[in-house]
Structure 1
Amino acid sequence: MSKLPDLEALAIFARVAETQSFSGAAEALGLSKATVSKAVTRLEQRLGTTLLHRTSRRFALTDSGRTLAARAAQMVHEAEEAEAQALDQSITPRGLVRLAAPMSFGMTYVAPALPDFLARHPDVSIDLHLSDETVDLVGGGFDCALRIAALPDSSLTARKLRPIRRHLVASPDYLEQRGRSSHPDDLVRHACLGYAYLPTPNTWRFRHVTTGEEAVVRLAGPLRANNADALTASLCAGLGIAEQPEFIHWRDIAEGRLEVILPDWSLPEINLHLVAPGGGPRPARVAALMDHLAAVFTAPLWPGDTVGRRAPLAPASRLA
């Protein structure tokens, strides 16, 4: 006997017992009478017992048949309920969504974007995981994630939401004391504060926006952190220079605590992506949250944010 039960034959037998007729069961199930008869015969052979007595004029369940028919009918009922529940969840947003996001961006922008979504979808709950470390979506059981990076090829699907502009910044006091640089090579004389999750955490890479000249600087400084926000206090205290995304430093720039240096030199492009495991159609709860996040993060996020836009998004693409 195989390990799995013959569920198809059990379901057909349950309908035969219910209708007391092979032809009635065949009509109800949209099958031929021969298919129904063969399924019952297959089940009897598998179980090694007679389930019903049948002649051209008489149809009767045996004792074994009556016992099995009741269990089979319950099995079909539970399967129909499970299928209906799964279908309902695929149409109506309901259930838990596990979402991952970078720490600083998540605290400042993702978390405030969730109350409105949850108010509109009271049957959905969210498990928000914040970390600058790249999590394994599939291994960690996440439904989707926001990632700020130049994404490598993978089996994930990704939707680019916006570019993330980065600048080299320092406090005016620091620059008055140590001097303002005009070329990345000058940075070897400066204290450089590092971010641990850069693709090359010990170096900064630059390209001149006009000439295309490239420069690489090895970092030396008193502090490196695995969260970019953790560098802000040291920056404002005048301890050095750091590479920071605009969504972190825009307020400090606007209020004069920091200023952009080397504005004619660009850092490698990174983008905010909405990523999810590849596969078939997503549950309604996941699709609804992803659409909500896409709408939020393609709009302006802070005063003077010129990157945000309200425009139709390109469909998600597979990275592999």
Structure 2
Amino acid sequence: MAMDYFGALGAFVQSAETRSFTEAGRRLGISSSAIGKAVVRLEEDLGARLFHRSTRAITLTAEGGRFLERCQRILAEFDVARAELSQAKAAPRGKLRIGLPQIGMRLMPHLLAFQHKFPDIELELNFSDELVNVIDEGYDAVIRIGDVDDSRLTTRALDGYRHRLVAAPAYLARRGTPERPDDLASHACLRYRFPSSGKLDRWPLLVDGQPVDIELSQSAIANAIDPLQAMAEAGAGIALLPDFIAADAIAAGRLVCVLEEYVSDHRKVCLLWPSSRQPLPKIKAFVDFMVERIGSGNR
């Protein structure tokens, strides 16, 4: 008959920690003789002596000490797995730590709707363009722009976005409307700088289907999108903005698109979370909600 390894490991660990079969039996609710027999069977199966025994006490052998460290980790992992499975049956609740890029501020209506639907979930939101380590920094889920290649993470694609070059009608009336990418050299360009790398965001300009690099005349640089949009609407220059961020200003006539036929890009957006753990109700609720809200074109 196969050994009850978890029972035997539990008996061994309790005996090692208390240095007593009697105390181990009391903690586990069984007799000291049953503890002793379980340990003996374990030793026979392993082919190694785990304890030095005397009439007064038991002490670990060198092999027993090494084995104890492994067993404690195994049982701790089992307790975590059991707790996660138990939580998986419960209603979504608890703290949910989410990482988002700065443009994720525009997702606040969806995040507020999520909070309204799941009042027992406490949202902790971190907005940053820094590339966070999801697992090591303790995030439950992260929304990230671009490709993700990490076998430790589970990924769901959300709706991506494209960029548009925009300017205020007053600026175009004053400076003229660029007809080709080369014309940007004589315009005031409002540029975005990545906080993580310090590099300027490249404008995705194409001529005859091929990418081109234009020497842009910069009038302002910011490491956030909102200031660029505010400056563009105030007539300070031309800005490259995500389409979903500029949409309301374009519809209201505060901004006008330029060089549409020369701008071509698509930014992927992913929702990801640690795959090594059982999906908890709070994580599953967040993933399902966000996929429903912004995974089908409804931002």
- Which residue of structure 2 lines up, in the alignment, with residue 99 of structure 1? 98
The residue number in structure 2 matching 1:206 is 205
Q: What secondary structure is seen at the aligned counterpart in 1 of 2:249?
A: helix
Which of 202, 216, 221 is the matching residue for 1:219?
216
CA distance in 2, matches of 1:169, 1:220: 15
The structural deviation recorded for 1:119 is 4.3
Of the three residues 84, 87, 90, the one matched with 2:85 is: 87
Deviation sequence 1:15-43 (CA, Å, 0-9, x none)? 69845496xx69xxxxxx9756435999x
Matches of residues 171-250 of structure 1 in structure 2 within 5 Å? 171-197=168-194, 201=200, 203-208=202-207, 211-250=208-247
Please say if residues 202 and 218 of structure 1, whose CA atoms lie closer than 8 Å, have aligned partners that are also in contact: no
Check whether the contact 2:222–2:228 (CA below 8 A) recurs between aligned residues.
Answer: yes
RMSD, aligned CA: 3.7
Question: Aligned residue pairs: how many?
Answer: 261
**Residue-by-residue CA offset, 1:119-138 (whole Å, 9 max, x unaligned):** 44444322111123333323
Measured after TM superposition, the shift of residue 47 of structure 1 is 5.5
| 1:145 alignment partner AA | V
2:266 maps to 1:261 = no
d(CA) in 2 for partners of 1:101, 1:115: 15
- Matched letter for residue 174 of structure 1: Y
The amino acid across from 1:160 in the alignment is: A
Q: Whole-Å Cα distance in 2 between the matches of residues 295 and 164 of structure 1?
A: 17
Q: Is the 8 A contact 2:84 2:280 kept in 1?
A: no
The residue aligned with 2:134 is 137
Which consecutive unaligned segments of at least 5 residues does structure 2 have? 1-8, 16-20, 59-74
Q: Distance in 1 between matches of 2:204 and 2:29?
A: 74
1:228 CA displacement: 0.9
CA distance in 1, matches of 2:113, 2:174: 47
Instruction: Report if the CA contact (8 A) 1:184-1:216 is conserved.
Output: no
Q: Which amino acid aligns with 1:166?
A: H
TM-score, length of structure 1 as denominator length: 0.68
AA of the residue aligned to 1:227: A
Deviation at 1:273, TM superposition (A): 1.4
Q: Which moved more, 1:214-223 or 1:113-122?
A: 113-122
Q: Is the 8 A contact 1:204 1:218 kept in 2?
A: no
Query: Shift in Å at residue 205 of structure 1?
Result: 2.9
Q: Partners of 1:270 and 1:127 in 2: how far apart?
A: 25
Q: Distance in 2 between matches of 1:273 and 1:83?
A: 27
Deviations 1:44-77 (A, max 9, x none): 96263358xxxxxxxxxxxx79xxxxxxxxxxxx
Between the aligned partners of 2:31 and 2:278, the Cα distance in structure 1 is 40
Give the Cα–Cα distance (whole angstroms) in 1 for the partners of residues 141 and 277 of structure 2.
14
Equivalent position to 1:49, from 37, 50, 54: 54
Task: Give the superposition deviation at 1:154.
Answer: 4.0
Letter in 2 for 1:89: Q
Distance 1:201 1:82 in 2: 44
Is the contact between residue 96 and residue 124 of structure 2 (CA under 8 Å) also seen in structure 1?
yes
Unaligned runs of 5+ in 1: 1-5, 27-32, 52-63, 66-77, 303-320
Aligned-pair CA distance for 1:231: 0.8
Q: Tell me the percent identity.
A: 30
Matches within 5 A, 1:1-320: 7-10=10-13, 14=24, 18-20=29-31, 35=38, 37-39=40-42, 46=51, 48-50=53-55, 85-92=83-90, 93-106=92-105, 108-109=106-107, 111-148=108-145, 150-151=146-147, 153-155=149-151, 156-197=153-194, 201=200, 203-208=202-207, 211-301=208-298
Deviation string 1:152-208 (CA, Å, 9 cap, x unpaired) is 544444322112021000111111121112211111111110011298616423125
Paired AA for residue 151 in structure 1: D
Structure 2 match to 1:56: none
Corresponding letter in the other structure for 2:236? L
Following superposition, the deviation at residue 220 of structure 1 comes to: 2.3
Q: Are the aligned partners of 1:170 and 1:241 in contact in 2 as well (CA < 8 Å)?
A: yes
